[in-house]
Amino acid sequence: MATVITNKDQTSIVSATTTDGAVTLAEMTKSGETVTTANIVEIFWTVNGTNTWLVDRGGTTIGQFAGSGHWNLASSGISLATGNTSDTGLTLSGGTGYIVVKFHKQP
């Protein structure tokens, strides 16, 4: 699968099974849409053994995730805006797994 980006109005879903060092705002922009920022609102992940997923925005680490889980910021009415104009890096340390990141986009 590598990386799959699904773009809808004001939302993008990025799914990955391997490292992707730079998911860009341009990749998260659908035809006819203007995007200037993208805030992370949810992350789902799983990875085997002692491996991890590292999520960064413009080189600044947002989080490192092991095992399996769901980080739901939207349920609390918040989002992660750190680096929201920067590329998003998804780094799998080894093994197998997947990560799904949901973004809310703003013009």
- For CA atoms 99, 46, 48, 93, give the dihedral sign: positive
Share of the chain above pLDDT 90, in %: 97
Q: Which CATH number fits domain 3-106: 1.10.3470, 2.60.120, 3.30.70, 3.30.300?
A: 2.60.120
Residue 36 pLDDT exceeds 70: yes
The bridge status of strand 60-66 relative to strand 20-23 is unpaired
Domain ranges of the chain: 3-106
Please give the span between the terminal C-alpha atoms of the chain, in angstroms, as a whole number.
29
Chain segment 43-94, per-residue pLDDT in tens: 999 999 999 999 999 999 999 999 999 999 999 999 999 999 999 999 999 9
Whole-number average pLDDT of the chain: 96
Distance, in Å, from the CA atom of 33 to the CA atom of 92, rounded to the nearest integer, reads 30
Distance, in Å, from the CA atom of 51 to the CA atom of 47, rounded to the nearest integer, reads 6
pTM (2 d.p.): 0.95
Residue 1 pLDDT exceeds 80: no
